[in-house]
Amino acid sequence: MSDYTKKNIKSLKPSATLAINEKSKELISKGKKVYKFGFGQSPFPVPESVVLSLKKNAHKKEYMPIQGSLELREAIAKYINKRTNNSFSSENIIISPGSKEMMFLLHLGFDGDIILPAPSWVSYEPHAIIANNKFHWLETTNENNWFPTSEQLEKKAKELKNKNSILILNSPNNPSGSNCENFEEIAKVAKKYGIIVLSDEIYTELTFNREYKSISKFYPEGTIISSGLSKWCGAGGWRLGFFAVPRKLDPILKMLKTLSSESFTAVSSPIQIAAIEAFNGNHSDYLNKTTSILNAVGNYVYENLKSNKVLMQKPEGGFYLMPEFLNSKFKTSSEMCTDILNKSGVALLPGSDFGFKPSKMLARLSYTDFNGEVFLKNTKSGKKPDEDDIKKFAPNIVEGTKRLVDWSKSL
C-alpha cells in the first residue's frame, strides 16, 4: 500500500519543540515528575487590557482583509518604526496566524536558497525542506555569541554566485539565549551580495538590557522583520504574527498576500482587534517586570548549572540557555537528552534539533517552568527578583536545575 507521502516530506518528523511538550505530558500522565525545560512557551498571562479587548470583541465574526485589519497594520507599523527607526506604512505590514505561518509561506513562494546559522530555531530547516528550497548551514561558535561572522557569510555568498538567497537571523537567539553583536558587519555583506535578511524578532522585546536591536537599522531596504504576540505578550495560543516588508521587496509582499488568500484567508477578527491594544498600548511595566523575572531565573540556572563539566553563556534575552555537556559517554546529543530525561526527569531538546552535528553535546534549556501569573503579581516595579523569590515562585526551576546538576556530576 502506498504511504501517499511526497519524497521531500518523508524525512520530516513532528516539530521537536511540540514533540517534547507532548512527551512531557505523556510522562506526567503516567505519574512521572517531569521538569519541562524543553518547551519555550511564555509563562506569563496576556496583559489585562489586551484580554479585555478580546472579550469585548468576541462577537466580531466578519472576515478581515487578507493583509490584515488596517488599524492593526497601522499600529504595528508605528510600533516597529519606534523601535527600529524604519519608515514602514500599513501597506508594508501583513498579518498571519502566528509568524511561523508567514515564514512557511515565504519559503513556499521564494525562488532561491536559504542560509541558516547553526544553531537555528527547529522549524526553519523543515520549512525549506517542505518547500524544496536548498538550504546551507553556517557553523557558529560561542566566541561569536553563536552567530555567523561576516566572513562566513561572504564566503557562502561567493559560493552561491548571485543566486537569490535569504539569511534568517534570530536575536535574542532560540536556542542559545544570546544577542547578535555583529549586525552591522553582516548587513554590509548581505547588502553587497543582495542577500535578503529575514530578521526573526519574536524575542527582541525580551532583551534583558531592554535595548531593541534590529539588523534593519543597517539594511532597511533588504530586511523583512518578523514578530508577533506569542513571546513578549504571552499570547502564543492566540496565533497572531506579522511581517514588515520593505518597499524594495514588494514582489515578496505580493506573493505572500496571494499565498495567504489561498491558505488561511485571514486571521481571526477578535484576535486582530485585541492585537491593536497590544501594539498601541503602554505595556512598559508589564515588560519591565517579565524581563526582570526571566533575567533573574535565567541567571539562577546559569550560576547553578555551569561547571567544569557544563559550559554555557550567560543568557541575554528570551527564555533559553544552551549548555554544552563535556562527556564521552554518549554518541549523540539526542541520546544524552534521553538519558537526562529518564534519570533526572528534566526535559531538554538536543542540539541536533537546531542544526548542530549530533556529536556535539549541546542542548536547549528553556527556563519557563513556573507560574508566571503568580510570580508577576508578586514582583514589584523596579525590584529584581532575588534567590528567595525564585525558590518561592519557581520551585520547578530550582529542583529541575538541582537534578540536572546531580546528573552532570556523573559525566
List phi, psi (to 5°) of 210.
65, 20
Beta bridge partners of 157: none
User: pLDDT, tens digit, for every residue of 20-39?
Assistant: 778 788 888 888 899 999 98
Q: Which of 236, 182, 174 is nearest to 204 (CA)?
A: 174
Instruction: Determine what percent of the chain is predicted with pLDDT higher than 70.
Output: 99
The three cell numbers locating residue 274: 485585541
Amino acid at 256: L
pLDDT of the residue at 175 = 97
Return d(Cα 370, Cα 35) in angstroms, integer: 10
Per-residue pLDDT, 1: 55
What's the pLDDT at 28?
Answer: 84
Domains, the chain, ordered by start: 7-45+284-408 (3.90.1150.10), 49-280 (3.40.640.10)
Give the Å distances, CA to CA, from 51 to 190, 233, 286, 305.
40, 11, 14, 37
pLDDT tens sequence across 168-185: 999 999 999 999 999 999
pTM for this predicted structure: 0.95
Beta bridge partners of 227: 242
* Residue 199, CB-side half-sphere exposure with 13 Å CA sphere: 28
**Can you give the pLDDT at residue 20?**
75
CA dist 316 and 299 (Å) reads 9
Residues in the chain, pLDDT under 70: 1-2, 16
Q: What is the pLDDT, as a whole number, of residue 24? A: 80
What pLDDT, on the 0 to 100 scale, is given for residue 381?
Answer: 87
Distance CA 245, CA 354 (A): 26
| Angstrom distances, CA of residue 61 to CA of 20, 67, 268, 292 | 35, 17, 8, 38
